[in-house]
Amino acid sequence: MAYIDFDEKILFKGLINRPTEIHSREFMICQDDKKLKFTTLARTQFVIHKITERVMALAADFVEFGATDHNILRYAKLDTEIVELIKCAAKKAGRKKFGYMRSPDLVHAGQMLMLYKCFLSCKLRRQPLPEGCIKSAERLNVDTSKFDTQSTKYYQQQVRKRRQELWEVQKDCENRRIYWLQQLAEDRTRAAGELDWEKKMNDMKKTVEENQVNRKLSAITKGTHSQLDRIQVPTGDWYYSEKESELYHYDHGVWEAYPRKEPNPNTYWIHHCDFHHGLLRQGQYHSA
């Protein structure tokens, strides 16, 4: 084996090309189905934009006229367009699946429920459908032209119906997921030109099991995380907690706590906080 040592800055003229991190890649070369889909999408876009014909015409102009300013500009535009088409094909082919591998039936049932919840919310608030809701309806092939004529009761019934459908899919989600993984394994086997799809299926099961172990370890080390679904805004100024035996005062977004002074149940400590040069100084308790 031969080795060579060179200066990257001189060789690449300041542009050092390093391999992309694994988590930042659109897809891996080992994913045969996505690799086949990427090449198909890229070739289709090249045919639509006539990339081959334009490259041959530009090469002929370089041979005849040389590296003129006009030819260099055409080359730069064509190069940028080819790179953007390749990126677009890679993003479409390499849609990442985050977390649990859900079957298409489960995803579709959940999306339908969320869509009709959006319909019901807009109908109750007497507001038009937002742009995101309209796009979701188009993606799910749901007609929104009759939204203004339908009643609130109709959408309430639809929400209950979609929720029941989601429950039914969830009951059989494991079998649906296994069937979906089997189809993926067969697709990847056909894309790779192999015959043993069961081997692909076993490899995918192994990957799923490893991901489950990683999720469990992450839950143990980092704890559970959930998004903020609601915010409670105080409607009054004074609140009392029987559990903590404290009196609370809400003042412009700041909570002040007044602990009970034992043994008198009707006496509380007053907490004074003062500011000095824009900084909050230590508070002190006084009886009241």
Predicted TM-score (pTM) above 0.85: no
Domain that holds residue 176: 104-215
Instruction: Say what the pLDDT of residue 251 is.
Output: 80
* pLDDT at residue 277 tops 50: no
Average per-residue pLDDT for the chain: 77
From CA 40, how far away is CA 31, in angstroms rounded? Answer: 14
The last residue of one of the domains, among 66, 93, 120, is 93
* pLDDT at residue 103 tops 70: yes
The edge-to-edge listing of strands for the beta sheet with 246-251 is 238-241, 246-251, 254-259
Look at residue 255 and tell me if it is in a domain.
Answer: yes
Cα angle, residue 173 at apex, residues 169 and 175 outer, rounded to 5°: 120
Tally of structural domains, the chain? 3
Highest averaged pLDDT of the listed ranges 53-62, 100-109, 124-133: 53-62
Q: Are residues 65 and 125 in the same domain?
A: no
191 with 38: CB under 8 angstroms?
A: no
Percent of the chain surpassing pLDDT 90: 23
Q: Which residue has the higher pLDDT, 250 or 135?
A: 135
Mean pLDDT of 74-90: 91
| Token pair listed for 64 | 């005849």
Q: pLDDT band for 113, please (50, 70, 90 cuts).
A: very high
Q: Are residues 207 and 114 in the same domain?
A: yes
Look at residue 220 and tell me if it is in a domain.
Answer: no
Q: pLDDT band for 115, please (50, 70, 90 cuts).
A: very high
* pLDDT at residue 1 tops 50: no
Mean pLDDT of 242-249: 79
